[in-house]
Chain A
Amino acid sequence: EAQVTQNPRYLITVTGKKLTVTCSQNMNHEYMSWYRQDPGLGLRQIYYSMNVEVTDKGDVPEGYKVSRKEKRNFPLILESPSPNQTSLYFCASSLSNGYGYTFGSGTRLTVV
């Protein structure tokens, strides 16, 4: 089944403790992206990747890192999480930007 798999689904962590949210797709998509969703603000792009080893900042990249060493994986790294990074996070992939998107199931992160 074609899908984008995010892990974990839920995560509660403490301020400053490094964490990684994984994202993997099995559709050989070139384009992958991370978004956060906050009440009243909607979905906002954090980082995106047009292909392996090609990443770029979205609208809200501060406090986040990404890497794209393989086509299928695009992990989101929070080196030192803070409470303002409490949010619902989505990974998505697409054949290339401009084509239809497939979204992961989301990761609800709470930083205390």
Chain B
Amino acid sequence: KNEVEQSPQNLTAQEGEFITINCSYSVGISALHWLQQHPGGGIVSLFMLSSGKKKHGRLIATINIQEKHSSLHITASHPRDSAVYICAVGNTDKLIFGTGTRLQVFP
């Protein structure tokens, strides 16, 4: 079993829809990261969470430490949100990555 599990693996949506991507992990962590990878390949860090909730524009990330679960929400989705979203958990010396959720938003 992978230490970091993401669901769904693939997600398609119509422009304007509310999107939720889930991440569950089984190891002790110091922080959880949400990353975005566009088709060109570059990786951008969206959020780093150790508790609670963070919001940046239309993106919201939450984490429940007791349940070892995090969610990434996108409100009013747009075609430019199409990308792979990667959850990664950090402990003392490394990041452990989920395999990513591929999101496609159609006009």
Seen from chain A, the residues whose Cβ lies within 8 Å of a Cβ on chain B are: 33, 35, 40-45, 48, 50, 56, 58-59, 88, 90, 92, 97-103, 105-106, 108
Contact = CB atoms under 8 A, between A and B. Distances in A.
Contact of B93 (A44, A50, A103): A50
A105 B42 contact: yes
19 contacts: A33-B94, A33-B95, A41-B99, A42-B98, A42-B99, A43-B95, A43-B97, A48-B93, A50-B93, A56-B93, A88-B41, A90-B43, A97-B92, A98-B31, A99-B48, A101-B35, A101-B45, A103-B43, A106-B43
Contacts of A43: 86, 88, 95, 97
A41 B99 CA distance: 6
